[in-house]
Chains A and B, each alone.
Chain A
Amino acid sequence: MNITNFISIFISAVFVNNVILSRFLGLCPFIAISKETKPAIAMSFAVSFVIFMSSVISWCIYRFLLIPFNLIYLRTITFILVIAAFVQLVEMIIRKFFPVLYRFFGIYLPLITTNCAVLGVSLLNTDMFFNNGKALTGSFYYSIFQSLCVGLGYTIAMILMSAIRERLELCNIPKPFKNFPIAFVIASIMSMSFLGFNGFKF
């Protein structure tokens, strides 16, 4: 466990393997809630929170429950259980304290359950920081840090996208391209630019 590992995890999770633009996980809110900046930020915070909490708990369950009982093949279903429970929790909190946001998110809030970014991070943590069923040294801290960084990368991608789409509102776009088609075009261009962090190989 040393500082260089943390730095490489940070750069890898935020930029090189950005969860939306390089791994293509969790695209549903990326397209649907990126029309304005404020809800986009709120949504990415909700997703980041779920990613963080679920990766903490799923790490504990994986380390102390699944490995000792030799049940690694159950990890997908247990992780989904954890995520579903946490999304319920977030939904209750938002409904109680931010009713306007709750109505704005609508169906997309429960859909965080099926957001593959959340499951993806939990699975990635167990893939990266476990070796043959044994936790690497500092694996727990790496997992937490990676989940935080992925949340940050998610937020950055959402803010970029929503800012671009806010400006697009004033542009003269051909009618068939309005709203979602142009959003997909932008998403692909942004993803190509993030490919620059990966480097090209011919």
Chain B
Amino acid sequence: MFVAVIILSLLGFIFGISLAIVSKFLKIKVDEKLERICKILPGANCGACGKAGCFGFAQAILSRELSLDCCKVASNEAKVLIADILGIKFEKKVRLVAVVHCNGGCKVKDKFIYNGIEDCIYANLELGGQKECFWGCLGFGTCVNACPFGAISMSAEKIPIIDTNKCTGCGKCVEICPKKLFSLVPVNYDVYVACNSFDVGKLTRKICPVGCIACGICTKVTNSTFYIKDNLAYIDYDKIKDEKMLYEAMSKCPVKCIVKRP
């Protein structure tokens, strides 16, 4: 009994001492600022900043490699807190949210029956997808799974709907959509062009009832806040003076492809 106790404690002692010595050699310094920043960051590890996760981003802003603006997810209040820790000033910016530039969905017919993997990226490999419109949404909801915040859902019309309150503007959906239908827009304007078709108006009209035919009415009505490029209308956010103009363009659009965010 006595021997057992001695031997066990001896073993424990030896292991303890050797671990202590090794830990001295393998020590790493941890900056306490790093942990504090990590706690404030969203912790979604979305990777939109270009780093592997929020931990990597915290390291990058500590070493001044990236600026705070690179994180699109953290709220302005959180950024102010982080700026306090870093000892720098932070200027508030308008939050960006994602919008889908397509409203076709079920209204656009299929050109062939697609039986492959139910994923937009794979469907896109087959002649650019099964929809008649080459530019539009394929409706398999790859973006729904890609969103780290659960802000995207598919509507009954097979078009992604974005919950503006949940959207943080991380840009994951912009990256993953094979048709490049998403873009990030300032949250304070809730009108956008729901079409992505570069086809000429005649062809678009034939395929899709809500596709932009590049008639240019929106440009005339809003005094060039809207502009037409490659048979498609865009909003020039820098030129917006009056929000009412956007609504006017929305009501004047003959195909109703300028819509209001839900």
Contact = CB atoms under 8 A, between A and B. Distances in A.
Nearest to A81: B11
Contacts of A95: 26, 28
What's the dominant secondary structure at chain A's contact region? Answer: helix
A77 B8 contact: yes
A71 to B, nearest CB: 5
Contacts of B118: 172
A128 B123 CA distance: 57
A69 B18 CA distance: 24
A89 interface: yes
Given A65-B7, A71-B4, A78-B11, A96 B19 contact: no
A88 interface: yes
Interface string A71-112: 100100110011011001100110110001001000000000
Contact of A71 (B7, B26, B28): B7
A103 B4 contact: no
A4 to B, nearest CB: 36
A85 B4 contact: no
B58 to A, nearest CB: 12
Given A69-B3, A172-B118, A82 B15 contact: yes
Interface footprint category on A: 20 to 34
Contacts of B26: 92-93, 95-96
A170 interface: yes
Interface of B: 3-4, 7-8, 11-12, 15, 18-19, 22-23, 26, 28, 52-53, 55, 117-119
17 contacts: A65-B7, A65-B11, A71-B3, A71-B7, A74-B4, A77-B8, A81-B8, A81-B15, A82-B11, A84-B15, A85-B19, A89-B19, A89-B22, A95-B28, A103-B55, A172-B117, A172-B118
Given A81-B8, A89-B19, A92-B23, 4 more contacts: A74-B7, A81-B12, A92-B26, A172-B117
